[in-house]
Amino acid sequence: MPASFPSPPYSTDFDPQTGEPVTIVPGLVRVTAPNASPYTFTGTNSFLIGHNAVAVLDPGPDDPVHLSALLEAIDGRAVLAVILTHTHRDHSGLAQRLMAKTGAPLWSGGPHRLSRPLKRFEFNPFARSGDFTLVPDRTLADGETIEIDGIGYKVVATPGHCANHLALAARGGSHLLVGDHVMGWNSTVVATPDGDLGDYLSSLDRVIALPQTRYVPAHGGEIADGPGFARALKAHRLMRNGQLLDVLRRGPTTLSAATRAIYPALKGKLAIAARRTLLSHAEYLERRGEILLERGLLGTRLALRH
């Protein structure tokens, strides 16, 4: 068994006040959806941006109770846009119903897409988690600024968790709306082919370099020292690479066996997510020329490259 490493300073001390509007800063209100789960923590955080008129960021799952909570928080104001950090259904499921209710257009980083094509013999166990049908009225480009009721945010492309993921950096403010890219309660799932570890690490470097330091994620509470936490997440991912290499130094093995060695306590759906995330690590190391991957009908075998 490879050596264990310290985790980033995760915290589960968060009161979501589900369904209630919570002001983060003036012009930014959180409403948490009632979709708590092992993947979503206490639920998806939707955000209302603006004062006299608003945009809704990440409307959340297709849930009538959450729709009612959002409409109550909107309180008759014009909705200028429905914006998505990405197109996983726990963020985007309510988009079409909210657009129909408010007449708002959809803004996002583009339709859902995989980080790479499926390989031969490959099945994507998370294919249903992404909404491939949503086509935005406005595709947000990296580096552009969007204006909501006089409030400006810079679009920051942050692929990794999925290919069309983006963050919003407050113009003249200290906060960064990070979606699922950085979360304080747990590490982000980077499940290939939906996600890509190389992209994720590069995107961590991007947000670390920004002047905004207060991270506001789509699950869980705010992170006061966002760059410090992001650095810890990056170090943790690099240590996972080291763990995988340690396993392979004992000899070639299967992806499933390597997952059991590195994540022995995980079962069920969480073990499936861990296996796909470990595959992202393996593909990253393969591109670096450190390991070999052999894919077949019976699974994926891993070995060190000598």
Confidence band, pLDDT 50/70/90 cuts, at residue 1: very low
pLDDT-derived band at 266, boundaries 50, 70, 90? confident
- Model-level pTM greater than 0.85? yes
Q: How many helical (H) and strand (E) elements, i.e. helices and strands, does the chain have?
A: 7, 15
Q: Is the pLDDT of residue 165 over 80?
A: yes
183 touches 232 (CB < 8 A): no
SS3 127: helix
pLDDT for residue 4 is more than 50: no
14 by Cβ neighbours in 10 Å (0-12 / 13-18 / 19+) ranks as: middle
Please name each of the domains of the chain with its CATH number. Answer: 22-227 (3.60.15.10), 237-304 (1.10.10.10)
Backbone angles phi, psi at 155, to 5 degrees: -80, 130
Contacts of 249 (CB under 8 A, 6+ apart): 304
- DSSP annotation of 82 reads E
Q: Residue 211 pLDDT > 50, yes or no?
A: yes
pLDDT number for residue 2: 39
Arithmetic mean of pLDDT, 128-155: 96
Q: Is the pLDDT of residue 3 over 80?
A: no
DSSP 138-178: EEPPTT-EEEETTEEEEEEE-TTSSTT-EEEEETTSSEEEE
Please report the pLDDT score of residue 18 as a whole number. 98
Main-chain dihedrals φ then ψ at residue 167, nearest 5 degrees: -120, 165
State pLDDT tens for residues 71-105. Answer: 999 999 999 999 999 999 999 999 999 999 999 99
What average pLDDT does the segment 2-13 reach?
73
Residue range 195-223: mean pLDDT, rounded? 98
Percent of the chain's residues with pLDDT above 90 = 88
Among the residue ranges 177-186, 232-241, 295-304, the one predicted with the least confidence is 295-304
Contact 120, 295 (CB under 8 A): yes
Question: Worst-scoring range by mean pLDDT, 172-186, 229-243, 289-303?
Answer: 289-303
Backbone angles phi, psi at 157, to 5 degrees: -65, 125
Q: How far is it, in rounded angstroms, from Cα 22 to Cα 15?
A: 11
Q: What does the pLDDT average to over 110-117? A: 95
Cβ–Cβ < 8 Å for 234, 204? yes
Is-contact 14 23, C-beta < 8 A? no
- Strand (E) positions, 13-89? 22-25, 28-32, 45-50, 53-57, 78-83
Query: What number of other Cβ atoms are within 10 A of residue 7's Cβ?
Result: 12
Chain mean position to CA 302: 27
Residues in the chain: 306
Instruction: Assess whether pLDDT exceeds 50 at residue 175.
Output: yes
pLDDT at residue 267 in the model:
84
- Count of Cβ atoms closer than 10 Å to residue 288 Cβ: 11
Q: Which amino acid is at 159?
A: P
Average pLDDT, whole number, for the chain? 94
Bridge partners, residue 177, by sequence = 168, 216
State residue 253's pLDDT score. Answer: 95
49, 78 contact by CB (below 8 A): no
Kindly state the percentage of the chain with pLDDT values over 70. Answer: 98
Q: Residue 6 has what pLDDT?
A: 60
- Report which of residues 209 and 276 the model is more confident about: 209
